[in-house]
Amino acid sequence: MTENPANRYPLIIAAATMILCVIVVVAFAIGRYPVPLSDLFRILWSWIGGAPHGLDATLETVVLQIRGPRVIAAVLVGAALAAAGAAYQNLFRNPLVSPDILGVSAGAAVGAILGIFMSLGVVAIQSMAFAGGLAAVAMVYLVARAVRGHDPLLLLVLAGVVLGALLGACVALMKYLADPYNQLPAITYWLLGSLASTDTRNMWVAAPLLLAGLLPLWLLRWRINVLSLDDEEARALGVSVGRIRLVVIVAATLMTSAAVAVSGVIGWIGLVIPHFARLMTGPDFSRLLPVSVLLGAGFLVAVDTLARSIASIEVPLGVLTAFVGTPLFLWQLAAARKGWQ
């Protein structure tokens, strides 16, 4: 029998927060243009206080204009994907579910590729990705609602899988039709995920959406726990299952759509980070959510820093998350298994 994870929880939170802070500082410091720690803190201090730092203006641009938004974007996107994944795993009562299950990523991909197809600007492409993600999930939800008299959860998953496959076919068609010199590389690049095009402007739009999705998940944390029981049991315990489920889906979709719009498709985080967190904290969502958020943020900042610094070209994020995450996860799984016996 394992010890009660509640006793370890403050320690886990403290450790995860510290690791995130260290990763963020390191992410600011390293890259094509290294920034010494002392300079970094002087620039941040003058940014907060308004006093001049007396350093090279290039250094300030690198920290505040280039790396700042990108690191913040990585924190928010990583946190959002992990939080949405954790919520969905409880909602669908399955630790193998990712935020993509209702077709968010597929819908966002179709939206973004349509934008690239029409040669729109970055902001317009991101808006179309966001709208595409929302529209896909709304369609899945309405289809599942229209068919009555079956297990609603199963219908949601089925509708999501079917619509996701259809949207995948649309993506394939548009790639096939795209101009192979201008559009196809842009589409491929977007589908592999990247934070390279983040700037202050689009973060001001995405950040409130990401946080707005996180808030209901935290507020409803206890209800989301109960939602992982059978529908009938949860209702007998006093939970309005349909309503809470809708709120969770809307919140998770908002976050995932905003995240995918900023970063392109980054798989893996939403599936594995909550799983990783659950191995540490146990399944209680009020502990699982904060730890997932911290780990997801830390993980994506670390991977994004690697992506822009290990090679002379940027390595696609979606590729790197899988390469870094898989061994990490397998190791954790093996370690946990030992602990159970």
Partner 1 sequence: MKLEAQQLAYGYPGRRIGSDVSFTLNAGEVLCLLGPNGSGKTTLFKTLLGLLPIQCGKVMLNDCELQQLERDEIARLVSYVPQAHGAFFPYSVRDVVLMGRTAHTGLFAAPSARDHDVALDAIRRMGIAYLAEAIYTQISGGERQLVLIARALAQEARMVVMDEPTANLDFGNQVRVLERIRALAADGIGVLLSTHDPDHAFLCADRVAMLRNGNLLACGTPDTVMTSAQLQHLYGVEVLVTEVALGQGRRRVCLPMGMQA
* 3 state SS for 199-233: CHHHHHHHHHHHHHHHHHHHHCHHHHHHHCCCHHH
Q: Does 93 bind partner 1 (CB under 8 A)?
A: yes
Least Å distance, CB 233 to partner 1, is 6
Least Å distance, CB 97 to partner 1, is 11
Least Å distance, CB 243 to partner 1, is 9
**Which of residues 89 and 263 has its CB atom nearest to partner 1 in the complex?**
89
Q: Does 341 bind partner 1 (CB under 8 A)?
A: no
Q: Which of 24, 117, 109, 124 is nearest to 318 (CA)?
A: 109
Q: Does 33 bind partner 1 (CB under 8 A)?
A: no
Candidate list 77, 90, 115, 266; residue touching partner 1; CB under 8 A: 90
Least Å distance, CB 286 to partner 1, is 5
Tokens of 330: 């397998």
Least Å distance, CB 84 to partner 1, is 17
Separation CA 67–CA 25 (nearest Å): 11
Least Å distance, CB 127 to partner 1, is 31
Number of CB atoms found within 10 A of residue 46's CB? 16
Is residue 282 left, alpha or beta, with left meaning phi > 0 and alpha meaning psi from -120 to 50?
left
Interaction pattern, residues 154-173, with partner 1; x per rule: CB under 8 A: --------------------
**Which of residues 4 and 58 has its CB atom nearest to partner 1 in the complex?**
4
Q: Does 228 bind partner 1 (CB under 8 A)?
A: yes
Q: Does 232 bind partner 1 (CB under 8 A)?
A: yes
Separation CA 249–CA 159 (nearest Å): 14
Least Å distance, CB 157 to partner 1, is 14
Q: DSSP assignment, residue 117?
A: H
Q: Does 38 bind partner 1 (CB under 8 A)?
A: no
**Which of residues 232 and 338 has its CB atom nearest to partner 1 in the complex?**
232
Site for partner 1 in 267-296 (CB under 8 A): 278, 282-284, 286
Type of residue numbered 180: P
> Taking the CA of residue 104 as centre, how many other CA atoms within 13 Å lie in the half-sphere pointing to its CB?
29
Candidate list 17, 46, 197, 225; residue touching partner 1; CB under 8 A: 225
Tokens of 135: 């529209």
**Which of residues 3 and 146 has its CB atom nearest to partner 1 in the complex?**
3
User: Total number of residues binding partner 1 (CB under 8 A)?
Assistant: 33
Q: DSSP string spanning 141-164? A: HHHHHHS-SS-HHHHHHHHHHHHH
Q: Which of 90, 95, 110, 104 is nearest to 141 (CA)?
A: 104
Helix intervals (H) in 220-284 = 221-227, 231-236, 241-263, 269-281
Q: Does 96 bind partner 1 (CB under 8 A)?
A: no
> Which residues here bind partner 1, judged by CB under 8 A?
1-4, 90, 93-95, 148-149, 219-223, 225-226, 228-230, 232-233, 235-240, 278, 282-284, 286
